[in-house]
Amino acid sequence: MSNTKSVFSDVALSIGESITHGARMRIAKLNAGCAEKDKIIDLSIGTLDTATDQYIDNGVIEFIKTKPELIHQFAPVKGFDFLLAAIAKRNERVHGLVYDPATEIMVTPGGIKGSIAVVLHTLLNPGDEVIVPLPNWPHYGDMIHLHGGKPVFVQSNNFIEKGLDPVDLGRAITEKTKLLILGDCINPTGKVYTNEELHNLAAVIARHNVQRLKDKLNPIFVLYDCPYEAHILQNRSQALAAFSVDSYALRDHVINVTGPGKTYGMHGDRIGYLCGPAAFIEVAANVQVNLNSFACTYGQVACFHALHPSMDEVALSRATNARQNTLHMIDLLRSYHLSVHTPQGGYFIFVDLSAYADKYGALGISTAEQFLLEKARVAAISGEHFAEGYAHADQYRHFVRINCGRERDVLVQAAGRVKAALEELR
């Protein structure tokens, strides 16, 4: 057996297959050659079935016809001026926050994941700690490792209803803490922070950052990741960047990250954008130009049309439809005696099948995800994946995250299969 060290980096080798993208490919292979009635219903990857609005497509077509020179040339590193202005206006409409499009906003390629990568590249030195509340998006841990950081996972009590607890946050902060990841419509629970909860978290951050300035230590930044911002239909809280605590303005160290993908069905356009302090954006632009230059021109034009004020109603309609389908799916699953929390936002549900664990365990099935796939022919994502890297991730193995962004008839068919599988267990 060879003892030769691999040519690949240790971090690269430690990263497994993407849970979401890998699941889609596996399902496609399993469904190949199956009759329609036997095909697996995919409720794993988090997209909406609703098609992208034609206004966006027509806008790109018209732009290509009238301004082809802009499409095929180099674009500004931070994004086209007209898109930066549109992002600033939408932030003011939705969040009441005013950002300078010239100095406080940057468009990124690779969607919101690309934005997160730029943030990590810009802020992290080897060994810097990043606090990640659990359960959460599966890719945070790997991305932090790729950028030389160390994820610090924090599991709070009553995580579904309350999210990150300020006491737990305070305990997790050390001198090495560089970044805290927060957000709304948290994947997989759909948690949306209230004003009171955000104020309590802001107070912890403010206290530490004020002291750090006195001690000449680096401040703690907050990456506020909210791809599902349009899917908060009630009781939208004040943006974290708008909070001030004892004259300390959170805005100085909060970086908001979002994009049009989940709002308008523009996943393939791969556009994300950052809104944050001018000093951060300036350095981040230098990072971006050396990573991948600038965001795709076609995607930027599409995003510009998506952010037109007239499209706000389209975003609301899409989100309302997804919410109605989500609530319908919850009602169906609860009627089968399943424990299903109603998310405060978004279109995911985090379903607890632990009451059936002994029964499917007797069949040699160890997770809820495996049970649904094998016995119901329904694909979801195991709760374990939303705590990857955490020592106690197995506590989520009887949870599944289900995407309710599918059409109503698909959800009803999937729910019927789940019902039949549960009845067979009984």
The per-residue pLDDT for range 215-226, each reduced to its tens digit, is 999 999 999 999
324 shares its domain with 280: no
Burial class, 291, CB count within 10 angstroms (exposed 0-12 / middle 13-18 / buried 19+): middle
Would you say residue 4 lies in a domain?
no
pLDDT at 156: 80
Provide CB contacts within 8 A for 184, sequence distance 6+.
191, 192, 193, 226, 228, 229, 232, 237, 345
Angle made by CA atoms 194, 197, 200, in degrees to the nearest 5: 150
> Within 10 Å of residue 85's Cβ, how many Cβ atoms?
16
Mean pLDDT along residues 141-157: 93
Domain containing 99 — which CATH number?
3.40.640.10
Contacts made by residues 284-287, CB under 8 angstroms, sequence distance 24+: 284/106, 284/118, 284/119, 284/121, 284/122, 285/77, 285/78, 285/106, 287/118, 287/121, 287/122
Q: How confident is the model at residue 3 (pLDDT cuts 50, 70, 90)?
A: low
pLDDT at 13: 87
Q: What is the pLDDT of residues 364-405, one digit of tens each?
A: 999 999 999 999 999 999 999 999 888 889 999 999 999 999
Provide CB contacts within 8 A for 3, sequence distance 6+.
none
pLDDT at 299: 97
Mean pLDDT along residues 273-288: 98
25 vs 259, higher pLDDT: 259
The domain boundary, picked from 275, 309, 343, lies at 309
The domain boundary, picked from 278, 309, 340, lies at 309
What are φ and ψ of residue 215, in 5° steps?
-90, 5
pLDDT at 133: 96
Q: Which structural domain range is residue 17 located in?
A: 10-51+313-425
| Alpha carbon distance 260, 302 (integer Å) | 9
Tokens 């799916």 -> residue: 329
Domain containing 18 — which CATH number?
3.90.1150.10
Q: How confident is the model at residue 27 (pLDDT cuts 50, 70, 90)?
A: confident
Would you say residue 317 lies in a domain?
yes
The domain boundary, picked from 309, 325, 344, lies at 309
| Alpha carbon distance 248, 199 (integer Å) | 12
User: Total structural domains in the chain?
Assistant: 2
Q: What is the pLDDT of residues 297-321, one digit of tens each?
A: 999 999 999 999 999 999 999 999 9
Q: How confident is the model at residue 6 (pLDDT cuts 50, 70, 90)?
A: confident
pLDDT at 20: 66
| Alpha carbon distance 72, 83 (integer Å) | 17
Check pLDDT > 90 for residue 201: yes
**What angle, rounded to 10 degrees, do the helices at 278-291 and 111-123 form?**
110
Q: How confident is the model at residue 99 (pLDDT cuts 50, 70, 90)?
A: very high
Check pLDDT > 70 for residue 329: yes
Torsion sign across C-alpha atoms 81, 83, 87, 92: positive
pLDDT at 291: 92
260 shares its domain with 199: yes
Would you say residue 101 lies in a domain?
yes
Check pLDDT > 70 for residue 356: yes
Compute the mean pLDDT over every residue in the chain, rounded to the nearest whole number.
94
Whether residue 118 contacts residue 100, with contact meaning beta carbons closer than 8 Å, is answered with: no
Range scoring the smallest mean pLDDT among 73-87, 155-169, 336-350: 155-169
Check pLDDT > 80 for residue 25: no
> Within 10 Å of residue 283's Cβ, how many Cβ atoms?
13
120 vs 29, higher pLDDT: 120
399 shares its domain with 264: no
Would you say residue 60 lies in a domain?
no
| Alpha carbon distance 132, 172 (integer Å) | 10
Count of residues for the chain? 426
| Alpha carbon distance 130, 150 (integer Å) | 6
Check pLDDT > 90 for residue 15: no
Provide CB contacts within 8 A for 68, sequence distance 6+.
none
Check pLDDT > 70 for residue 75: yes
pLDDT at 174: 97
Which residues are paired to 339 by β-bridges? 352
